[in-house]
Structure 1
Amino acid sequence: MAINEPLNRKLRMGLVGGGQGSFIGRVHSIAACLDNRAVVTAGALSSNPERSKASAPDYDIHESRAYGSYEAMFDAESKLPDGERIDFVSVTTPNHTHYEIARAAVEAGFNVICDKPMTFDLAQAEALLETVSNSDVVFAVSHNYTGYPLVRQAREMILNGELGEINAIRTQYIQGWLRTQLEAEDQKQAAWRTDPSKSGAAGAFGDIATHAYNLGRYMTGLLPETVSCHLKTFVEGRRLDDYGTAVVRYENGGLGTVTASQISHGRENDLEIEIDGTKGSLRWRQENPNELIFRQNGKAHQIYTRDPNASYMSGSGAAACRLPSGHPEAFFEAFANVYASAFDAMALRGDGQTVERRDTVYPNIYDGVEGMYFIQQCVASSEQDAAWLPLKHDAARR
């Protein structure tokens, strides 16, 4: 099969962010290029023009395509012939910059893959949705945990009714790296994540609880109704929450919990989800991503392992695998699966075909809006002593 049929060529990536000292920008570039379907062609790698251009060799970006700003990149790339200009933009900068960059990219006609949370606040998310709706671009949000093969396996099992009616969703994302006030030591990743002018109204809940909440939505398709939330800042002097728990009521009568911590000693990236249905239950843990546990009363517990050739694997689960069973696949591969699904749509758009932008395998603009609404309502609920507030947004679709 040719690369990116029907285009039969690699897609050209324009990277915004990812300069020296960045974590997530490098992850995006590796994920995009993992399947040989894309190449990093241009970049505006830092808000500092000199650092931006100095970082270009790290990505093998030619100096002529190393730009001092995203505005300069979009302007120059738009003027290049179709066979040379970038096809898509990856936005890998701090939260407060996402909206302006993504909007400018869409208005310039470039497809976009934006890091989460999608924007600084809900108003920006809704404005960006309007901009995307008035274009034909492909817009993806990097909720990368949706790309794990066994997450997609679980999603198909649930939507096919194997768990019956869903009663409960328990999700947690537990870290410990912010147990001390790293931001006071000018640690780059901590500094912007704990700064409300850059991160937004939430700390841990904006950074990692959004992943946990999105995972439950993605796997079950349940529509949320209301939320009650407690947020807490335990580290003295910190300006945003570093711990919190939310309870979600779903339209079908089910209940969900979302717990996020960045101050739990010894915890790394422990994202876990348990789903209870009337016929069975599932458990998946990101730190052991190649196993999915299925339980039914009175029967032996079943452990699904990631195996693309196994008869029990669903179509989307098997399609998300790259290696034979026993060879672990994890973070980069899951991230790459989000890119791969978006690439499929980009290739069709590039061929002049109409693409589905609402009901997609990859997280899209609507998921991004839902995530921002979740953050807004959790913060508001916590400020009102865990009052129950509405959670269903017009963007909800599954």
Structure 2
Amino acid sequence: MASQPAHLVHGMGTAMEAPTWPAITADEANAVVARFPAAGRLTGLHWHSPRPFSAATLAHTTQGAFLLKRHHRSVRTVEGLTEEHVFIAHLAGAGVSVPEVMATAEGVTAVASGAWSYELHRAAPGADLYRDRLSWTPFASLAHAHAAGVTLATLHEAARSFTAPARRSQPLVASFTILPAADPIAAAEAYVASRPALVAFLESKPWRRQLASLFETLGQGLTPLLADQTPLWTHNDWHPSNLLWASDGSVRTVFDFGLADRTSAVHDIATAIERTAVRWLDLGQGTADIADPAAALALLAGYATVAPLGPADVAAVVRLLQLVHLEFALSEIDYFTAVVEDPASAELAWGGYLIGHAEWFQSAPGQNFLRALQAGASPQ
């Protein structure tokens, strides 16, 4: 009998790697699915996700198909997952197409077993066109970028009535405490001080000076622009592989709210552009001209069909875009140091991701990209 191919996941670059978290087994899935009565009885596992920070599988049961996702408890507790699920339920109630989160007989939507936390979602409608693509994969077309902008604005409109506070401190959440602060260096120091492994990683680096230089160069005028933005729960991981697609090219379903938190609409828009309109995996591969302003403008145009953006909103997006990755990058470093002890990936997250992406925006291609966005997105 031929052996099954090894399960691999996305790495920090373009190569597939052995997973940090082992694939979910059939016996394991059977025990977890049995705790969710409406899910029926497990009949088989049909796909394992290549996403690297957790393990997930498409489980088929007597009641249909479900996505079973497993997290280490140091990354997500039951309480941490419940924060996401409450937001998803609110969006569903407001008419946003999101996966149904399954509940146990006791009415809870996440369960713990040993070192793991589990959640189960009913498979949602739509084609998973980008299922095996890397998170920083660009949209396949400007039409997809436009459609994603429409849906992002629709999600934001639905989220305006969701008043939960910001999430508790935990790895791999795109929180928003540093850039809006009157003193971002003091806010960064507080963020780092609350994470001992991050303190240890940064102690040999001139990180305060490096961040201060970025704030001075790229963050001028950002604080007052953000002060005028209404706090809002947002998705914070808006890229095409977190969307399911209809046959007409529109977005059918939004999923993966693992990075969701209370930020602002412009933070989510800037994150969406940063993750889909700049080919970061090509940075350092022979060309610095890695941006696609047309894709970014298509996303903004789609957004504006639902929620028009004023001049101050556009200015905030363009200014924030250069640093919007900062807090999640620090969260990634905390994950790589505190949870999985992967110093090489932590170094890449600091030098290649946090510092490298910000420095690209200071280059001629980066500045050209920002000017194109400002000119093309500003209300006429």
Task: Tell me, yes or no, whether TM beats 0.5.
Answer: no
Task: Flag the structure with more relative contact order, 1 or 2, with Cα contacts below 8 A and sequence separation at least 6.
Answer: 1
Query: More strand per residue: 1 or 2?
Result: 1
TM-score, normalised via structure 2 length: 0.28
